[in-house]
Amino acid sequence: MSELVRWSKQGDVAVVTIDNPPVNAIGPGVPEGMETAIHAAEADPQVRAIVVMGAGATFIAGADIREFGKIVSGERPPLSLLPFLLAIEDCEKPVVMAIHGQALGGGLETAMAGHYRVMTANAQVGQPEVKLGLIPGAGGTQRLPRLAGVMKALEMCAAGEPVNAQAAFSAGIVDRIIDGDLLEESVAFAREVINKPVRKTRERNGKLAGAFPAMFSMAREQARKKGREMKAPLAAIDAVEAATQLPFEEGCKREAELFTQCLHSTESKALIHIFFSERAVGKIPGLPKDVKPAEIRRAAVIGAGTMGGGIAMTYANAGIPVIVKETAQEALDHGMAIIRNNYAKTVSKGRLTQAVMDQRMSLIAPQLTYEGFEQADIITEAVFEKMSVKKQVFAELDKIAKPGAILASNTSTLDIDEIASATNRPDMVIGTHFFSPANVMKLLEVVRGKASGNETIASAMALGKKLKKVAVLARNAHGFIGNRMVEPYLREAYFLVEEGATVEQVNQALYDFGMPMGPLAMDDLAGIDIGYHIRQEASRFQKAGVRQPLVADKLFERGRYGQKAGRGWSKYDENRTPSADEETAELIEQTAREAGIERRPVSTEEITERCIYALINEGAKVLAEGIALRAADIDIVYIYGYGFPAWRGGPMFYADTVGLKKVLSRIEEFEARHGAELWSPAPLLRELAAAGETFEAYDKRQERTKA
């Protein structure tokens, strides 16, 4: 018997258990083990029904994702689960799949090959392959529409979101929801179906008749809108459509062709890179394994502005009671009204119940004093981005916070060490940089100062998980990872309009690249005043004689603060819909004329390359300086903090796919045209390009060195 799959008997019911920690992924040996166990149980005259379940926390989380790269490189033969699943489906004794935790991807495909399915109330099932740039590859697109109907199958295969037990039961994916002990109740269920005929999913064609062409065109339209350039959702729709047009075996062949195309796509490589990077960012080399993160039971936030309010909501959403302190009643009331309004909008959209909103509001305590701060396990400061104000706040916190409390700053650019110097406990000070809106954006950039203690670092990283964020560790340096890199990205957007591109052209080029909005639209959203103040604070680092953007400051001087002012780079109507603004266009032309900047037509290609390559070049510097631990960490920061398209894998992975030699040669051209101060290629980029290497290979090399 395979070590990965074992079976035993509970009287007349065989129990086959898949035991491949941590998530019972279907790696080499698992399908073979399942087939052997099922055949053995089938051959045992005492056995009258078979239950299949997973050991540990979950049923089966899908095919082993680590295998895909090996298949693409030819190291492993193509995945072929279909025959194993047919063997299960053809078993003459009823097979009951008992699901707990997750049945995802190949996990749900395995479950659907059984004759019956039961599921615990808190389990989930889904076909998330599109999130890896793939489609179900083991009959999922053929069996799911037969069980759940074509509409539900389209939804699940094209969007990739899992469904809960109630939804799975209503759709007909599972036959019973189990409230008690899974093993006991699934064995009892198996006994109930012993004398019933085995039901092969592949032969249940009734629900396929409900399909009509508009379903597929609607699904394609939605997939294009949501996934932009992504190919996998469209391939998933094609495969489900094939289920309605072809017999099962032919449909599976079509699915296999589409699966193989997806597997070899850059989109899939990029998304698989993101899957593993998201899990790698939490691993901090050098942090002793026995360091225990502090338990965060109570929090406090200083400042109820844009960020303070969002951070308070994030704590409340995680069930952590939080005090919010302001300096004036008006600011406090305003901040609380925005929080209430944000929750109310979610309630009106049906995504939150009124009771849950009330419960979350009750966890947020607004006040003007430091009362209760002595009980907080973490205090997050979100006051104005001014060093003097931050230092004053931290000096006050040092006096009132309990020993062991974490003192966190939400600064977006300032020096954590200088902030920590205002306290007598710099080891407890750390940056926790949330992204706006803090209650929505998934990224948490944790910034370690020189003195930040190991426990403080571990606690801030664990806090990220508790708040359902992805925490990435950065070293203290101006702008850390994300904002340090966004500066040259924005700088190029500013320069491009001064050189002749229109605001709309710049925004459209980056939108078409896959960003959620163009850089100047992002600037208008964040606030032209915010950027202005950051430039003012950073002006002490500027070298004389280096070209500086001119128009952005002029927008500030004219009160064109962006969306909130109704005008910035663009003008905005009452619904915040942007349109081109003559006044900005004139201001740009006049400024360029006065500064002697030659105006010329600028191509979309130049816009995209200058903005994205500036990001990559700075990323390579951030990496070499050790501000980011890995290139993959930078990719995660950009995907979850700035909306960089995940299907391009993040800026550093994208550079790998373009080819570092090509990226370098364009950067050298920009250097020749715009000067070395702005465009000198990062030495690491030069080094990797010369060696024919990639950032991904660099990460692996670094990991081996550190191990």
Provide the binding-site residues for ligand 3HC, judged by CB under 6 A: 22-23, 25, 58, 61-66, 79, 81, 102, 104-106, 109, 128-129, 132, 134, 136-138, 140, 279
**Least distance from ligand 3HC to the Cβ atom of residue 157, Å:** 10
- Is residue 518 close enough to count as binding ligand NAI by CB under 6 A? no
- What counts of helices (H) and strands (E) characterise the chain? 31, 19
List 32, 75, 92, 129, catalytic entry: 129
Question: Which residue of the chain is nearest ligand NAI when measured via CB?
Answer: 305
- Residue 327 partner contact from ligand 3HC, ligand NAI, none using kind-dependent CB cut-offs of 5 to 8 Å: ligand NAI
Residue 558 or 564 having the CB closest to ligand NAI: 564
Pairing between β-strand 443-448 and β-strand 429-434 as defined by DSSP bridges: antiparallel
Return the one option of ligand NAI, ligand 3HC, none that residue 299 interacts with (CB less than 5 to 8 A, by type): none
Q: Could you tell which of ligand NAI, ligand 3HC, none binds residue 531, using a CB distance below 5 to 8 A set by kind? A: none
- How many residues interact with ligand NAI (rule CB under 6 A)? 26
Instruction: Tell me, letter by letter, the H, E, C secondary structure of 145-169.
Output: HHHHCHHHHHHHHHHCCCEEHHHHH
User: Is residue 514 a contact residue for ligand NAI (CB under 6 A)?
Assistant: no
**91 is a contact residue toward ligand NAI (CB under 6 A):** no
CB burial of residue 473 (10 Å; 0-12, 13-18, 19+): buried
Q: Under the criterion CB under 6 A, does residue 565 sit at the interface with ligand NAI?
A: no
Q: Are 30 and 19 in contact (CB under 8 A)?
A: no
> How many angstroms separate the CA atoms of 86 and 88, rounded?
5
Residue 22 preceded by cis peptide, ω within 30 = yes
HEC per residue, 260-305: HHHHCCHHHHHHHHHHHHHHHCCCCCCCCCCCCCCCCCCEEEECCC
Using the minimum distance from each CB to ligand 3HC, give the nearer residue, 62 or 233. 62
Distance from C-alpha of 365 to C-alpha of 376, rounded to nearest angstrom: 12
Phi-psi map region of 578: left, alpha, beta (phi>0 left; psi -120 to 50 alpha): beta
- Contacts of ligand NAI in 403-442 (CB under 6 A): 410-412, 433-436
Under rule CB under 6 A, which residues in 436-465 are in contact with ligand NAI?
Answer: 436
For ligand NAI, the binding residues in 338-397 under the rule CB under 6 A are 382-385, 389, 393
Q: Which of 62, 140, 308, 431 binds ligand NAI (CB under 6 A)?
A: 308
d(CA 676, CA 665): 14
Instruction: Pick the piece of the chain touching ligand NAI (CB under 6 A) from 6-14, 180-188, 198-206, 326-334.
Output: 326-334
Closest distance between ligand 3HC and the C-beta of residue 109, in Å?
6
Q: Rounded to whole angstroms, what are the CA distances from 341 to 320, 527, 647?
A: 20, 21, 33
What value, to the nearest 5°, has the Cα angle with vertex 66 and ends 64 and 71? 95
DSSP code of residue 96: E
Beta-carbon contacts of 264 under 8 Å, excluding residues fewer than 6 positions away, are 72
Residue 326 touches ligand NAI, criterion: CB under 6 A: yes
Is there binding between residue 30 and ligand NAI (CB under 6 A)? no
Which one of ligand NAI, ligand 3HC, none interacts with residue 379, CB within 5 to 8 A by kind?
none
> What does 412 bind: ligand 3HC, ligand NAI, none (CB cut-off 5 to 8 Å by kind)?
ligand NAI
Nearer to ligand 3HC, 232 or 301 (CB): 232
**What's the rounded Cα separation, in Å, for the pair 126 and 102?**
8
Which residue is catalytic, options 35, 89, 109, 696?
109
Contact call for residue 37 and ligand NAI (CB under 6 A): no
Characterize 347-362 residue by residue with b for buried, 16 or more Cβ atoms within 10 angstroms of its Cβ, and e for exposed: beeeebeeeebeebee
- In whole angstroms, the minimum distance from the beta carbon of 533 to ligand NAI comes to 8
Please compute, for residue 48, the number of CA atoms within 13 A of its CA located in the half-sphere on the CB side: 13
Token pair 């709309």 in the structure block, residue: 504
The residue number with the shortest CB distance to ligand 3HC is: 105
Which of 62, 105, 128, 303 is close enough to bind ligand NAI by CB under 6 A? 303
- Choose the contact partner of 302 out of ligand 3HC, ligand NAI, none; CB within 5 to 8 A by kind: ligand NAI
Amino acid letter, 42: E
CB of 302 to ligand NAI, least distance (A): 5
**Complex with ligand 3HC: residue 81 or 311, whichever CB lies closer:** 81
Q: Closest approach of Cβ 335 to ligand NAI, in Å?
A: 6
Query: How many angstroms separate the CA atoms of 199 and 188, rounded?
Result: 18
Which residues pair with residue 364 across a beta bridge?
322
Quote the least distance from Cβ 273 to ligand 3HC, whole Å.
12
Least distance (Å) between residue 324 CB and ligand NAI: 9
Q: Quick check: is 109 catalytic?
A: yes
Q: Pick between residue 142 and residue 439 the one whose CB is nearest to ligand NAI.
A: 439
Distance CA(425)–CA(404), nearest Å, equals 9
My answer on whether omega of the bond before 519 falls inside 30° of 0, hence cis, is: no
Residues that bind ligand NAI (CB under 6 A): 302-308, 325-327, 331, 382-385, 389, 393, 410-412, 433-436, 526, 530
Catalytic residues: 109, 129
